Chains A and B, each alone.
Chain A
């Protein structure tokens, strides 16, 4: 393990990240708000610590980045970036304890959207903007941003990329990693601009439109309003937000196909089909529940179901309604929808559609082979055969998810939470959704949770965002052995 080189790269990431802090600085100037000094201080501190770290570790042997180094660089980058992000909340005085500030920052960067704020409308605009921006940065990934800028990482870049954006098959949009990262950012910025315009037309103010776009497209879920999207009371806007969330949960490769007008690939894409079909069928199911058990009219039942199902499955976490008032059957549907997640290669969290599809195909194969022991069945995705080792890693993924969820729920319950609250807060943070059930439901927040519980949830957010293996490996003894 080339620890010095790891720190060198993390410092470099920090330097590049620090420039994002200029944006809320500008906002605070425009709104003439006090946090100006906070952002200035944090920016300068972040930049200088980055530069200091960079030069202190300059002697590091600059060899290729191996797998170990990549996992460590990515995890450390996220931890460090969240730390400096949390200083803005702490020093501007909007949050009193470091635990709360770090929770809010990590919840932002991992696009979770769980919050410790009881009220957000009285926060300074620049803080609200920064909160939204952290989600936008985290949506595509901090390291992907760095990769788009640094050309010299070469194949080591691929290791970093894979540690932050796990893929099922070794597909890259472009042969070179820097071009891939650039293309991803171009697509991301393109969708962002499109959505800002859509929100403006639907009647949001420019500030709200930008902040909400940041948190929609990254499937984050922070809002500038206490009642989230429900605040605006505009059915039309809710449909537009639905579209935005769906776009955030879509694999970015799909946009690349659309840009290239390669529609045959779109038609062949199993994951896209399943993603849309699953969402539609869940919406229909929930509409029926709300219509017959909750006595809503058809339009409203469809609209609120659509909004909430999309919000949960894409792991955004916006709300228009307090779903804790809904029939139990709807609540269970929502609770387990958290685990599905969007498509792979999107900004969404969760297990992700493609893994679910492959697991089902595997189960089908197993059952079929019980009847026909000699049958040779190969599991295919979009027409290509998926190897056993990939399937094995997916089973491992799902097992890890269960294991982490179990341990984390135990810890949360030990701090005195009831089983539903404990389990649902873990589920919502592991899958980067946002709101939970019980006391931490859509109208509540996470501030009442014991600090131990909060740190557990912070870890859950990070583990979930980096898709289990990257972070869990650091707890694996063999990782540190020579």
Chain B
């Protein structure tokens, strides 16, 4: 397979890094020559210097032999033109683009099959907003990943200091989990573990649980979580993300938005129905206290300034908010923010990259999501009639070390897997796999 990526920013970089590991031929186009020179030092890719929307440049990148075009420059217009050229001139089958401007993104005609035919168009702000909403709806999770159009969720749950789960062997816990879920990954000190029966849990471990959306409340009770719903939310930053989040949740929760710029506040007050819009500074302690920050269930910092987001979250946490969510663009800051006690830190670019990777499907793997800086992956696999896995019990199948089946979906039925379960054709399974086990797993799938 051959992929062309336009735009060597963080999204392009992440996707390219992943694709090259998969053995895909990658050509990256960017207009910044220095960036390209740095890129070839780090990645095994070819680079072409030039504008992504220039047919000559695409030709130089041998676009006519490509199977996939990914347009992720900062300019929506360039991305759209590149996709149009890819379709009209080079006949590239699959075109994925980042489109930010809502006027383009929500325009059904423009992106439809007859015209630009971008599949899918990805709006990072909208995706971040969705992710934030999921976190607000499931307040005890520090990460929520959707599968099967939201029917199955993977929840990341951080073990608090006084949890009764600490120290117990997983084998002994399984009955306690009442066959509602199993643990897919344990992330401890930035290392990912695929658990076995004799593993135990420690304070601060991040565990990944595949659960049914309908079971979320029961799972919360099993884990001993008390706060199950979010009622009061304060959002700092009324930009696109803040606006999207507010518009999604204002019917269910009480929302206060703090935004600095008066003009933007005007816009928000015109377009939001129930939210309270406050014109001011999110790090102004007086303002926060005045607006009852102590009563907030969640504080969401989504301004353009990532340092400010982190500081505001720390302040909110000090003032007594239990749940804080921040968006941070610099991936270097992510572990820092975690250390400072902000459990949910979203990186729009990494999110976009992992979303794009979900769509680049390969054979039986329907979608996959990387976690913990690509140390491990969660993948959704559909078993066909020729698969070597079917008509065997899970115990019989020799899964590679560092992989496990988290959940099985058979038609509409959801099965929490046990050793005696038999896989059938057309089953969809969600697997938890360490990066180093992926090659072996792919061999098994063949």
Contacts and interface: CB of A to CB of B under 8 A. Distances in A.
Q: Do A and B bind? A: yes
Interface of A: 67, 151, 154-155, 157-159, 170-172, 174-177, 179, 384, 387
A159 B25 contact: no
Contacts of B421: none
Contacts of A176: 20, 23, 25, 44-45
Contact of A384 (B25, B26, B42, B49): B49
Given A158-B44, A177-B44, 10 more contacts: A155-B42, A158-B40, A170-B37, A170-B40, A171-B46, A175-B44, A176-B20, A176-B25, A176-B44, A384-B49
Contacts, number: 40
Interface string B397-421: 0000000000000000000000000
Lowest 3 CB-CB distances: which A-B pairs, in order? A175-B46, A175-B25, A170-B40
A468 B49 CA distance: 28
Contacts of A154: 20-21, 44
A170 B25 contact: no
Interface in B15-64: 20-21, 23, 25-27, 33, 36-37, 40-47, 49
B375 interface: no
A155 B33 contact: no
B41 A159 contact: yes
Contacts of A172: 40, 46
B2 interface: yes
Interface in B282-330: none
A171 B43 CA distance: 13
Nearest to B36: A170
A175 B24 CA distance: 9
Contact of B27 (A67, A151, A175): A175
Residue with the highest number of chain B CB atoms closer than 10 Å, among A67, A159, A171, A175: A175
A214 to B, nearest CB: 31
Contact of B46 (A157, A159, A174, A384): A174
A171 B44 CA distance: 12
29 contacts: A67-B41, A154-B21, A154-B44, A155-B20, A155-B41, A155-B43, A155-B44, A157-B44, A158-B40, A158-B41, A159-B41, A170-B36, A170-B37, A170-B40, A170-B47, A171-B46, A172-B40, A172-B46, A174-B46, A175-B2, A175-B26, A175-B45, A176-B20, A176-B23, A176-B25, A176-B44, A179-B25, A384-B49, A387-B33
Nearest to A170: B40
A155 B40 CA distance: 8
B385 to A, nearest CB: 31
A70 B37 CA distance: 17
Contacts of A155: 20, 41-44
Contacts of A387: 33
A71 B133 CA distance: 50
Contacts of B41: 67, 155, 158-159
B427 to A, nearest CB: 32
Contacts of B43: 155
A151 to B, nearest CB: 8
A27 B44 CA distance: 39
Contact of B25 (A157, A158, A171, A174): A174
B95 to A, nearest CB: 19
Nearest to B19: A175
A151 B25 CA distance: 13
B53 to A, nearest CB: 19
Nearest to B40: A170
Nearest to B25: A175
Contacts of B44: 154-155, 157-158, 175-177
A157 B44 CA distance: 8
B360 to A, nearest CB: 16
Residue with the highest number of chain A CB atoms closer than 10 Å, among B21, B25, B40, B47: B40
Nearest to B46: A175
Interface string B199-214: 0000000000000000
Contacts of B46: 171-172, 174-175
A179 B44 CA distance: 11
Nearest to B42: A155
Contacts of A151: 23
A180 to B, nearest CB: 9
B85 to A, nearest CB: 20
Contacts of B26: 175
Nearest to B28: A175
Nearest to B49: A384
A387 B42 CA distance: 20
Contacts of A177: 44
A183 B27 CA distance: 17
Nearest to A153: B44
A157 B40 CA distance: 11
Nearest to A159: B41
A275 B27 CA distance: 30
Interface in B324-341: none
Residue with the highest number of chain B CB atoms closer than 10 Å, among A67, A157, A171: A171
A71 to B, nearest CB: 13
Nearest to A387: B33
Contacts of A174: 25, 46
B87 to A, nearest CB: 22
A268 B192 CA distance: 52
B4 to A, nearest CB: 10
Residue with the highest number of chain B CB atoms closer than 10 Å, among A151, A154, A157, A176: A176
A179 B65 CA distance: 15
